[in-house]
Amino acid sequence: MIQTKYGEFDGNRWEAVCQVCFKLKYEQDSYQEIKASPGDHGIEGFTRKGDAFQCYCPEKQYTQDELHENIRDKITKDLKKLISFEKALKSKLNGTKIKRWIFVTPYFEKNQIIDHCAKKSQYYRQLGLEILDNDFDVLIYDVEFLTKYLPVALNSIGEKLFIEPDSVVTQDIDNFKNSGSEQAINIINKSISIVENKEISDSSKKSEKLAKSYIKQYLDGFSVVTKLQMRFKESHEKYLRNVDEMATHLEQKKIFHNSSNKDFVEQLNSEVRERINSEFSELDPATRNRLAYFVVASWLADCPLRFDDL
């Protein structure tokens, strides 16, 4: 099992996810899966346009050099099966010639693997295999090739999508806190208001600690939402709709809430988590929590959530 920025995978799980993604992505190109039984033929599926796919997931977290060697050797080994099983593949391809043999793996670390693929492309073009196009090409794709379809694919095998936030260290939090930006000032002042239950007060150790926790949630959540926007547009649009709808009720919630600022924010956190958990069942719990925490932290930073005297 290996950890990726979209969750954990082993060989079986990776292939299952890939197959669902291929069927969704290439439905219009008549994608055909090839089962591993009675034998591995060097491809796990193909389209009538000539794209053939082979999936590979490393067995463990390798060093960069080890990963490169494992991927290189697997590509070399699997390509040889095109020769060994040419007759069987010709029957299955039914006139389709393979134009692109695409090796799909969660990630690769060294660009030298692209050079290896290019050399293999040239070598196999010269073999004159009946199942290969004259412009046969070998390519390597990582998980980003599948991102649009990952939520559905993971859900189909009982898994959830994990989105890894960018690394946030203490120095990042301190830099943000001391930046003098409007967002930083808002979070600092509102943390004081939450702890002291006043609009303006002197800071304390508790409010300092609270401000840093909100800044961490803000930075973590911002990177997750950015990745949603870049790679999972439908989920991002759904997120924006939900946040906008929740924000419209903030002012009324504050007016009719008679307890302390602390109690109000705790209730708000609970309501937002409930909403995010309900609407984003395709995401894993850690990712849903980061989105929920970001909603409240961003309201504190950007002013939809205020503690002015009424």
For the stretch 121-169, pLDDT in tens is 999 999 999 999 999 999 999 999 999 999 999 999 898 999 999 999 9
**Composition of the chain by helix, strand, coil, percent to 5:** 60, 10, 30
Model pLDDT, residue 29? 96
Q: Is the pLDDT of residue 310 over 50?
A: no
Name every residue whose Cβ is closer than 8 Å to that of residue 262 and which is 6 or more positions away in sequence.
194, 195, 197
Please state, in angstroms and rounded to a whole number, the distance separating the CA atoms of residues 16 and 270.
35
In percent, how much of the chain has pLDDT > 90?
78
Please state, in angstroms and rounded to a whole number, the distance separating the CA atoms of residues 132 and 127.
9
Q: Which residue has the higher pLDDT, 254 or 24?
A: 24
Give the H or E element holding residue 286.
helix 285-302
Provide DSSP, 9-67. E-HHHHHHHHHHHHHHHTGGGT-EE--SSS---S-SEE-TTSEEEEE---SS---HHHH
- pTM listed for this prediction: 0.81
Tens digits of per-residue pLDDT, 154-209?
Answer: 999 898 999 999 999 999 999 999 999 999 999 999 898 888 876 555 667 889 99
Provide DSSP, 195-233. HHSSSS----HHHHHHHHHHHHHHHHHHHHHHHHHHH-H
In percent, how much of the chain has pLDDT > 70?
96
Model pLDDT, residue 38? 67
